[in-house]
Amino acid sequence: MSSLLNVNGISVSFDGFKAINDLSFEIGENELRAIIGPNGAGKSTFMDIVTGKTRPDAGDVVWGEKNLSLIKKSESDIARLGIGRKFQRPTVFEDQTVEDNLMMALRNDRTPFAVLFYTFSNDDKQKVVELAESIGLSEEIGRTAGELSHGQKQWLEIGMLLAQEPRLLLVDEPAAGMTKQERNKTVELLKEMAKHHAVVVVEHDMEFIRDLDCKVTVLHEGSVLAEGSLEQVIENQDVIDVYLGR
Amino acid sequence: MQDAVLTKFLLRHPSVLVFLGMLAVFTIAVTILSEGFGMGIVSTSLVKTLGKTLCLALAAIAMDLVWGYCGILSLGHFAFFGLGGYMIGMWLMYARTELIVLKANAASALPLTPQELSDAVGVQIFGVVGGSEFPVIWAFSDSLLLQLLLVVLVPGILALVFGWLAFRSRVTGVYLSILTQAMTLALALYLFQNDSGLRGNNGLSGLQNLPGLEETSQADVSLWFFWGSAFALGFCYVIAKLIVESKLGNVIRAIRDDESRVRFLGYNVEGYKLFVFVITALMAAIAGAIYYPQAGIINPAELAPIASIYLAVWVAIGGRGRLYGAVIGAIFVSLLSSFFTGGQIPNIPLGFYTIQWVDWWLVLLGLSFVLATLYAPKGLGGLVDKFKKA
């Protein structure tokens, strides 16, 4: 499998604290991957670097077949290249309808003038309806996003990610604050997504990782501690020492 | 095709028709009642006040677009308003002074050479600040067309450069407000200087007199500008409505609510902010260019930061993010303000203290701003919502 995203030896420190320390990471096309690690292991910082929010002090992030470096690119450029990000707390535009949220996320020209003269075509309407269906929000399409339940907001955000038609999805703690039922549905959604996209899931919840049934990367103090199937990593002595043993 | 789009737009947003209809009825009513038209119930000075108020409403629409929709609390939009006024004022003042000088010399045997004419006009205009030379910035002041272009170019380019620098550096929130206020203050202080080339604190005056139309009465001129103000307000309202109802409207509201999320959707947030900042600066500049010929005078005090803060107060009291709220706020507050400060309300003697409305009006305004923010975040426009629901 050729790699889609290649992170080579990145480091970043904030006020002397090394948040990421010589971290290397690779993910292939249509791969599902879970990242676990204790608090402060650098999971969120890792995502910040890949999506362009934080610039690393050293190392490189290489994307796609053309081996494009993402280091100097802005958040919006990286998003348009095909990396979507889902935040820990659901961030949808609460003031606007589910339909408008999805419509804005659709993969279309994003320059201001094109957006000003954009017409919501039947094709795009159809796409929005299908997306709403896939995330189970068909009934809610005309409602204001702020009225949705916590779980529904999480799914709407996933729907918006899918609307962007990214090749890689970075998902930060998707199951946080969800009920058991909502969590099961989210697992299904992520597995379904991984059929056509590469998906990286950052999660604390071991149960959830087990259900995802995929390759796991364990982060500790800003670098990779272990990598492999869940069974392999939980038997790894290093992992037990720093994370699971306590 | 274009017509069909517009018709569909109007059908989908009947509020636009309501707004334009009310504006048209108001304009016609004032015209019929005015001195210029004949009835004389509405005095010429009142026509001017109403015309100016419409210009302020237009500036408030711009403010609502940039603050209420895009979340940029700019405290500099009145600077763009003032710059628009200065640009048109330069032509008005130059052209009229030139005519006066020519008239004064009509009797002399030798016609003035261009140099003599320029010097004579220069003395007339810049005598008050002890000069007679035309500064470079007056290079186009003899051409109405070029000065009209400058009405949009000068504020537009200032907004573009300032906005580009500020947004690119990701300055947001209260820091951006302070930065825009600093820009306004710097501009006002610069204009206060005698060698700024714009007559220092004297400003530009006599703007109510249109060059070559000395014979036309102010009653007529006031009506022309009143119509111009109404047209500009209606036109820009439709433009603003088209913007906020388009997908761009969705995007800028999203930027207001969660800027970084919009970035991760792949939108270049800085470009959108710059677009809205410049468009609204242009609207404010056009409003200013129609306002000051009705006011008759413009001086640097007009650009003082407090004016831009008033703009924000109007929009807050009228209700943010609904366009017509800004119009209501601007009209309501500015008319009330001229009512209170114009000596129409008798002062209240309390024996030990006299309540002078000129001073106390500001306290009242400040209080209503605080109350509106605390108890009616939707402003006066919120009342319309209640009316709609009922």
ipTM entry: 0.88
Question: Token digits for B159?
Answer: 């907004």
Is B260's CB within 8 Å of A75's CB?
yes
State residue B325's pLDDT score: 92
Is B250's CB within 8 Å of A53's CB?
no
Residue numbers in A near B268 (CB within 8 A): 74, 76, 110-111
Residue numbers in B near A94 (CB within 8 A): 257
Residue numbers in B near A87 (CB within 8 A): 261
Q: What is the mean pLDDT of chain B?
A: 90
| Chain A residue at shortest CA distance from B274 | A112
Task: Tell me the CATH number at A143.
Answer: 3.40.50.300
State residue B362's pLDDT score: 86
Query: What is the tens place of the pLDDT at every residue in B23-54?
Result: 999 999 999 999 887 778 888 889 999 999 99
Listed residue (B82, B73, B334, B87) closest to B186, CA to CA: B82
Query: What is the tens place of the pLDDT at every residue in B152-174?
Result: 999 999 999 999 999 999 999 99
User: Are B308 and B74 within 8 A, CB to CB?
Assistant: yes
Residue numbers in B near A103 (CB within 8 A): 247, 250
CA-to-CA distance for A7 and A26, rounded, in angstroms? Answer: 6
A144 touches chain B (CB under 8 A): no
CA-to-CA distance for A190 and A158, rounded, in angstroms? Answer: 9
State residue A1's pLDDT score: 47
Is A87's CB within 8 Å of B261's CB?
yes
Cross-chain CB nearest to A118 (options B247, B264, B267):
B247
State residue B83's pLDDT score: 96
Is A76's CB within 8 Å of B267's CB?
yes
Three-class HEC string of chain B: CHHHHHHHHHHHCHHHHHHHHHHHHHHHHHHHHECCCCCCCECHHHHHHHHHHHHHHHHHHHHHHHHHHCCCCCCCHHHHHHHHHHHHHHHHHHHHHHHHHHHHCCCCCCCCCHHHHHHHHHHHHHHHHCCCCCCHHHCCCCCHHHHHHHHHHHHHHHHHHHHHHHHHCCCCHHHHHHHHHHHHHHHHHHHHCHHHCCCHHHCEECCCCCCCCCCCCHHHHHHHHHHHHHHHHHHHHHHHHHHHHCHHHHHHHHHHHCHHHHHHCCCCHHHHHHHHHHHHHHHHHHHHHHHHHHHCEECHHHHCHHHHHHHHHHHHHHCCCCCHHHHHHHHHHHHHHHHHHCCCCCCEECCCCEECHHHHHHHHHHHHHHHHHHHCCCCCHHHHHHHHHC
User: Are B230 and B34 within 8 A, CB to CB?
Assistant: no
Among chain B, residues having any CB pair with chain A shorter than 8 Å are: 243, 246-248, 250-251, 253-254, 257-258, 260-261, 263-269, 271-272, 275
In DSSP terms, A36 is beta-bridged to A218
Is B266's CB within 8 Å of A76's CB?
yes
User: Are B52 and B232 within 8 A, CB to CB?
Assistant: no
Q: Which candidate in B167, B243, B247 is best for mutational testing of the A interface (most A CBs within 10 A)? A: B247
Delimit the domains of chain B by residue range. 2-389
Question: Token digits for B127?
Answer: 């005598």
Question: Token digits for A244?
Answer: 């699971």
A95 touches chain B (CB under 8 A): yes
| Chain B residue at shortest CA distance from A108 | B266
Is B254's CB within 8 Å of A51's CB?
no
State residue A101's pLDDT score: 95
In DSSP terms, A86 is beta-bridged to A171
CB atoms within 10 A of CB B352: 5
User: Are A207 and A34 within 8 A, CB to CB?
Assistant: no
The residue behind tokens 């272990």 is: A226
Number of folded domains that form chain A: 1
Is B268's CB within 8 Å of A74's CB?
yes
Listed residue (B254, B108, B85, B248) closest to A101, CA to CA: B254
Range of the domain at A222: 3-244
Residue numbers in B near A125 (CB within 8 A): none
A94 touches chain B (CB under 8 A): yes
CA-to-CA distance for B365 and B82, rounded, in angstroms? Answer: 23
Question: Token digits for A200?
Answer: 């990286």
What is the DSSP track for chain A? --EEEEEEEEEEEETTEEEEEEEEEEEETT-EEEEE--TTSSHHHHHHHHTTSS--SEEEEEETTTTEE-TT--HHHHHHHTEEEE-SS----TTSBHHHHHHHHSSS--SHHHHHT----HHHHHHHHHHHHHTT-GGGTTSBGGGS-HHHHHHHHHHHHHHT--SEEEEE-TTTT--HHHHHHHHHHHHHHTTTSEEEEE---HHHHHHH--EEEEEETTEEEEEE-HHHHHH-HHHIIIII--
The residue behind tokens 């990782």 is: A209
State residue B389's pLDDT score: 67
User: Are A27 and A200 within 8 A, CB to CB?
Assistant: yes
Residue numbers in A near B250 (CB within 8 A): 93, 96, 100, 103-104
Question: What's the farthest any 2 CA atoms get from each other in chain B?
Answer: 78
Cross-chain CB nearest to B253 (options A85, A96, A112):
A96
Size of interface A-B (CB pairs under 8 A): 71
Cross-chain CB nearest to A79 (options B254, B257, B264):
B264
State residue B2's pLDDT score: 59
Residue numbers in B near A111 (CB within 8 A): 268, 271
A159 touches chain B (CB under 8 A): no
Per-residue pLDDT of chain A (246 residues; tens, 9 = 90+): 478 999 999 999 988 888 899 999 999 988 999 998 887 888 889 999 999 999 999 999 999 888 889 989 999 999 999 999 988 788 899 999 999 999 999 999 999 999 999 989 999 999 999 999 988 899 999 999 999 998 899 889 989 998 999 999 999 888 877 888 888 888 888 888 888 889 999 987 888 888 888 999 988 888 888 888 888 888 888 888 876 555
| Chain B residue at shortest CA distance from A161 | B265
Residues (pLDDT < 70) of chain B are: 1-3, 389-390
A190 touches chain B (CB under 8 A): no
Read off φ and ψ for residue A117, nearest 5 degrees: -100, 15
